[in-house]
């Protein structure tokens, strides 16, 4: 008994130590963000305020937040729309070699984006797309293979008999897709949308190269540029900025979890 208690106390101490190591960067982040007179040290703030956050959502930083939102939401929506239009026929038509085709696309996605950066850049330059819209298109193109593969698998789970039933009842192809297939795959579509959203939100390289003016920077690029911008590093601003930058990912996580819990399409049809 005695030795058991000692062991468990030792384990507790070791675990607390681990926990401190894990938690300290986060606590540093939070403590500095809420400290208007932050110095970049890990210390208990003398006063607490939201001044840093106010700074991080106004002016340049605020515009960067909107830019990020625009790029992420635009990419996610465009990926889903184009993905649906391509994945539905791929799911329903017996196209020879369709699986090989899909996996070839995935292989393309496996290439590091730096590897395709140069051709993408020149294509965008020729097309006059060196702006946010260009970033959205480029990211959508890079996203599409996975989007296609995921959406096709979701559509595969919608029983063909449901579509036949709707067809017999007089639904056109468009009505079958919008009223039967899409509502039944909404969990899958949400997953794809959120993944594309976070992917585009986190994207750094493409926006950096494509939008070379300060006004066009999303947060990822803005954060990088903010280092040493006003002569010295403003830790309070940077930490608040980082928290805002990370918030959508956390939000997406909870939204996703709720969506996954509501379950996938195609269940509960058989008797």
Partner 1 sequence: MADVSLRGVRKSYGSLEVVHGVDLDIKSGEFVVFVGPSGCGKSTLLRMIAGLEPISGGEISIEGRVVNDIPSPQRGISMVFQSYALYPHMSVYENMAFGLKLAKTPKAEVDQRVREAARILQIEDYLDRMPKALSGGQRQRVAIGRAIVRNPKVFLFDEPLSNLDASLRAQTRIEIAKLHDTLDATMIYVTHDQVEAMTLADRIVVLNAGRIEQVGSPLELYRNPINTFVAGFIASQRMNFLPVTVEGDRLVLPGGKSVASNHPQRGNARTLGIRPEHLVLATPETAQFSGTLSVIEQFGEYALAYVEMPNGDLMTVKLDGAPDLELHQAIHVGLPRDHIHLFDEAGRALR
CB-wise, 180 or 223, nearer to partner 1?
180
> What does the alpha-carbon distance between residue 80 and residue 165 come to, in Å, rounded to a whole number?
26
CB-wise, 40 or 266, nearer to partner 1?
266
- Smallest separation (angstroms) from partner 1 to the CB of 265: 7
CB-wise, 205 or 269, nearer to partner 1?
269
Residues 6+ apart with CB under 8 A from 88: 151, 155, 177, 181
- Nearest residue to 72 (alpha-carbon basis) of 144, 145, 134, 139: 139
CB-wise, 230 or 262, nearer to partner 1?
262
Contacts to partner 1 by CB under 8 A: 159, 161-162, 164-171, 175, 179-180, 183-184, 265-271
- Smallest separation (angstroms) from partner 1 to the CB of 176: 10
- Smallest separation (angstroms) from partner 1 to the CB of 167: 6
- Smallest separation (angstroms) from partner 1 to the CB of 172: 8
- Smallest separation (angstroms) from partner 1 to the CB of 184: 6
> What does the alpha-carbon distance between residue 157 and residue 186 come to, in Å, rounded to a whole number?
12
**Helices 59-92 and 132-156: angle between axes, nearest 10 degrees:** 40
- Smallest separation (angstroms) from partner 1 to the CB of 134: 37
> What does the alpha-carbon distance between residue 31 and residue 93 come to, in Å, rounded to a whole number?
56
CB-wise, 44 or 267, nearer to partner 1?
267
- Smallest separation (angstroms) from partner 1 to the CB of 191: 17
> What does the alpha-carbon distance between residue 196 and residue 208 come to, in Å, rounded to a whole number?
18
- Smallest separation (angstroms) from partner 1 to the CB of 258: 17
CB-wise, 46 or 270, nearer to partner 1?
270
CB-wise, 231 or 268, nearer to partner 1?
268
CB-wise, 213 or 267, nearer to partner 1?
267
């Amino acid at each position: 008994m005695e030795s058991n208690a000692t062991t468990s106390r030792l384990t507790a101490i070791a675990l607390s130590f681990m926990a401190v190591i894990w938690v300290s960067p986060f606590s540093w982040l939070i403590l500095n963000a809420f400290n208007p007179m932050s110095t970049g040290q890990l210390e208990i703030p003398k006063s607490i305020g939201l001044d840093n956050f106010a700074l991080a959502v106004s002016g340049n930083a605020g515009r960067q937040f909107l830019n990020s939102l625009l790029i992420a939401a635009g990419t996610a929506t465009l990926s889903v729309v184009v993905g649906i239009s391509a994945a539905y026929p791929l799911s329903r038509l017996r196209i020879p070699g369709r699986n090989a085709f899909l996996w070839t696309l995935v292989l393309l996605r496996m290439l590091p984006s730096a590897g395709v950066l140069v051709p993408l850049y020149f294509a965008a330059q020729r097309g006059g797309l060196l702006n946010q819209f260009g970033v959205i298109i480029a990211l959508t193109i890079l996203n599409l293979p996975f989007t296609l593969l995921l959406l096709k698998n979701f559509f595969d789970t919608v029983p063909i008999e449901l579509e036949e039933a709707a067809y017999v009842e007089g639904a056109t192809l468009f009505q079958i897709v919008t009223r039967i297939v899409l509502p039944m795959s909404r969990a899958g579509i949400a997953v794809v949308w959120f993944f594309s959203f976070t992917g585009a939100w986190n994207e750094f390289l493409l926006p950096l190269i494509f939008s070379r003016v300060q006004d066009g920077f999303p947060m990822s690029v803005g954060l990088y540029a903010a280092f040493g911008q006003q002569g010295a590093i403003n830790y309070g601003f940077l930490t608040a900025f980082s928290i805002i930058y990370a918030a959508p990912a956390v939000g997406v996580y909870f939204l996703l979890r709720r969506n996954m819990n509501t379950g996938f399409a195609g269940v509960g049809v058989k008797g």
